[in-house]
């Protein structure tokens, strides 16, 4: 469904701190970061969002709630949104239905369970841009169409909707999943996180309304793209990396090996775990640089979580996780049930140094970083050392820029 109306916004979007820094997970300023509000919903029906490029980094866009809050979800940006396309993309799988209120759409609520789609495709944009996506992507017309009949008006109080029964992307997704899998817990928590974002934006707008004083001091130019946690909060960072395996049954991934290093104290954590579904295949083990002999003292997934909680408790009052990719933190959220607002090192690095480094290994080579030995096994040891080196580099560059010695 669409992410609000084509009409003008009715409230200013105010997200300015003294030093505005961005969360590279939800792509919102840290002041309005939504990560700690989001649950992880274990949905059965996969949700695919086809997003108009104008919505990709919109400050109050709601597709991010689906991407971060639904275990089975994906967001695909329609970069060539204005081009007509008859051929469906490679990622489109059989059993996908389109949630779009066309003339031929069937009411999702009235369908028997055996006619429910196994995957749901949702368009994300204003009502105007979503309509142009539907008009130009001709392959959408061949999908089964479904519609909703919301009984309550939309909760998106920052944008006017063309009609009272039009809702935002995340509202449409939650309502659809509530019909398709009403037994799934956590869906209403997604809406509460959405409400929290709206409330915070309105509160900030009210605080700033009529305040015409001069703008607050900005960071030196080179520091503006480096998260606050990598500068003043550096001593609270815990850099983490995890190897995982997916069971043959297709169930959720589980940790095989979790490693971490606290940048303030230098404390380190390492734990091998035997997944409940069995050990990875030999080819995967070789890829991770591990052997079956390494798992002689491996623990259960539950004990890994207990040891991890004990390690974090030793890392100070407010440890902040940092990882090169988001997957490790997402797995930790799923395994422990504890929400995090992490520092995404890949996003921070690429924001400062450009998008030419596609991997951690490329970033290490580009910057000539020297990795310290941490004594951990296989690929996990190397990647954790690389993520620590990137953290140290960004921290040092930010400090140098703060002192006016260099431009990052």
Whole-number Å distance between alpha carbons of 174 and 58: 20
- Token couple for 275: 């997944």
Average pLDDT value for residue range 360-372: 89
Q: Give pTM, 2 decimals.
A: 0.58
CA 273 to the chain's CA centroid: 25
Looking at residue 215, its pLDDT comes to: 47
Averaged confidence pLDDT in the chain: 81
* 3 state DSSP class of 371: coil
Query: What is the architecture, at CATH level 2, of domain 222-402?
Result: 2-Layer Sandwich (3.30)
The dihedral sign for the CA sequence 233, 338, 61, 83: positive
- Token couple for 25: 């997970």
User: Where does the pLDDT of residue 201 fall: very low under 50, low under 70, confident under 90, or very high at 90 and above?
Assistant: confident
The dihedral sign for the CA sequence 313, 271, 43, 155: positive
User: Where does the pLDDT of residue 213 fall: very low under 50, low under 70, confident under 90, or very high at 90 and above?
Assistant: very low
Q: Given the structure tokens 């869906």, which residue do they identify?
A: 187
State pLDDT tens for residues 220-236.
Answer: 444 546 777 787 788 88
- The DSSP letter of residue 151 is S
Whole-number Å distance between alpha carbons of 141 and 180: 22
Per domain, the residue ranges of the chain are: 22-204, 222-402
Looking at residue 54, its pLDDT comes to: 84
Residue 210 confidence (pLDDT) above 60: no
The dihedral sign for the CA sequence 353, 318, 387, 383: negative
Asked if residue 55 lies in contact with residue 125, where contact means CB atoms within 8 angstroms, the answer is yes
Bridge partners of 323, per DSSP, are 344
Q: For strands 237-245 and 254-262, give the pairing.
A: antiparallel
The dihedral sign for the CA sequence 190, 196, 197, 202: positive
User: Where does the pLDDT of residue 182 fall: very low under 50, low under 70, confident under 90, or very high at 90 and above?
Assistant: very high
- The DSSP letter of residue 120 is E
Residue 117 confidence (pLDDT) above 90: yes
DSSP string, 199-224: HHHHHHHHHHTT--SPPPPPPPGGGT
Asked if residue 374 lies in contact with residue 226, where contact means CB atoms within 8 angstroms, the answer is no
State pLDDT tens for residues 270-290.
Answer: 999 998 888 888 888 999 999
State pLDDT tens for residues 317-362.
Answer: 788 899 998 788 888 887 887 766 678 888 888 878 776 656 899 8
Looking at residue 350, its pLDDT comes to: 80
The dihedral sign for the CA sequence 374, 379, 385, 387: negative
């Amino acid at each position: 469904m669409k992410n609000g109306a084509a009409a003008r916004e009715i409230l200013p979007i105010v997200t300015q701190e003294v030093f505005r820094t961005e969360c590279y997970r939800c792509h919102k300023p840290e002041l309005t970061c939504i990560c700690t509000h989001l649950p992880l919903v274990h949905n059965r029906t996969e949700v695919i969002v086809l997003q108009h490029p104008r919505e990709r980094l919109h400050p109050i866009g709601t597709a991010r709630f689906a991407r971060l809050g639904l275990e089975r979800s994906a967001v695909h940006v329609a970069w060539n949104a204005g081009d007509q396309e008859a051929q469906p993309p490679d990622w489109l799988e059989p059993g996908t239905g389109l949630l779009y209120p066309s003339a031929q759409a069937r009411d999702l609520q009235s369908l028997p369970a055996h006619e429910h789609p196994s995957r749901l495709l949702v368009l994300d944009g204003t009502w105007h841009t979503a309509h142009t996506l539907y008009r130009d992507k001709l392959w959408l017309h061949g999908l089964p169409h479904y519609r909703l009949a919301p009984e309550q008006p939309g909760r998106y109080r920052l944008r006017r909707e063309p009609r009272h029964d039009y809702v935002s992307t995340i509202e449409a997704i939650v309502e659809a999943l509530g019909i398709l899998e009403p037994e799934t817990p956590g869906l209403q928590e997604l809406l509460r996180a959405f409400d929290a974002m709206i409330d915070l934006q309105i509160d900030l707008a009210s605080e700033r309304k009529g305040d015409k004083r001069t703008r607050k001091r900005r960071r030196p130019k080179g520091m503006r793209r480096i998260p606050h946690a990598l500068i003043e909060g550096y001593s609270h960072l815990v850099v983490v990396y995890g190897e995982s395996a997916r069971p043959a049954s297709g169930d959720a991934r589980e940790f095989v090996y979790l490693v971490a290093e606290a940048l303030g104290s230098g404390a380190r954590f390492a734990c091998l775990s035997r997944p409940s579904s069995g050990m990875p295949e030999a080819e995967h083990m070789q890829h991770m640089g591990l052997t079956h002999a390494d798992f002689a003292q491996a623990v259960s997934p539950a004990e890994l979580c207990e040891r991890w909680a004990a390690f974090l408790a030793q890392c100070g009052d407010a440890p902040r996780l940092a990882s090169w990719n988001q997957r490790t933190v997402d797995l930790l959220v799923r395994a422990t049930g504890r929400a995090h607002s992490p520092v995404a090192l890949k996003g921070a690095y690429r924001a400062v140094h450009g998008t030419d480094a596609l991997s951690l290994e490329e970033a290490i080579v580009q910057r000539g970083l020297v990795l310290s030995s941490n004594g951990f096994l296989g690929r996990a040891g190397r990647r954790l050392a690389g993520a620590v080196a990137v953290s140290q580099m960004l921290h040092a560059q930010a400090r140098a820029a703060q002192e006016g010695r260099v431009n990052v």
